[in-house]
Amino acid sequence: MTTELSRIVRIDGIGAAPRREVIAATPAECAALAARFDLQALDRLTADLTVVRDVRGVAVAGRLSAAGAQACVVSAEPVPFLLDEAVDLVFSDAAVGEAAEIELEDVDLDVLPLDGDALDLGEAVAQSLGLALDPYPRAPDDVRAAAARFVVSEAEATAAAEAGRANPFAVLRPRG
């Protein structure tokens, strides 16, 4: 599987001594991630991580930093974002039993399956970015108010039509 931000690290190269991994997305990778996460722009994405093998598996800890813009959910205007988020993941090959229902503790929420002899730190950073983004970005009130001025209510359209002004939405009205 090819990902927008791939940084493969072989597991046999990870030991008990912490190993530093710095990830900086290229402009092309930022553009691909912006498309993946429906961003208006992703100007920068970096991560400074420490990778170490411990009793749980392969632990990845550090910070990710990103800057860009999302579309306001109301006005579609750009909403800039600056992220500085902690990354704390564990890649583990401990199999989860096939139970009908499992109970997850808080410590289990950031445990990812270890598949094969390598892990993709870039994809882990990309997924962390996706989780850190505001799911409902909103522009400041003044921008939303300006955008709202362009919305014409049905009552305003009817009043304009009665006053003899052309209603730009008249062509949408069903005939019959």
Tens-of-pLDDT digits for all 176 residues of the chain? 578 999 999 999 999 999 999 999 999 999 999 999 999 999 999 999 999 998 888 999 999 999 999 999 888 889 999 999 999 999 987 745 555 555 555 555 578 888 788 999 999 999 999 999 999 998 887 555 655 555 555 666 666 666 666 666 666 666 66
CA 70 vs. chain centroid, Å, equals: 10
Whether 75 and 161 map to the same domain: the answer is no
Burial of 54 (0-12, 13-18, 19+ CB in 10 A): exposed
1 within domain boundaries: no
Domain that holds residue 39: 8-139
17 within domain boundaries: yes
2 within domain boundaries: no
Sequence-ordered list of residues with C-beta below 8 angstroms from that of 74, at least 6 positions apart, any chain: 138, 139, 144, 147
55 within domain boundaries: yes
Whether 121 and 145 map to the same domain: the answer is no
Question: Which value, to the nearest 10 degrees, does the dihedral of the CA atoms of residues 122, 83, 138, 134 take?
Answer: 50
Q: In this structure, what token pair is assigned to residue 61?
A: 């800890």
Number of folded domains that form the chain: 2
Whether 145 and 92 map to the same domain: the answer is no
Rounded Cα–Cα distance for residues 61 and 155 (Å): 56
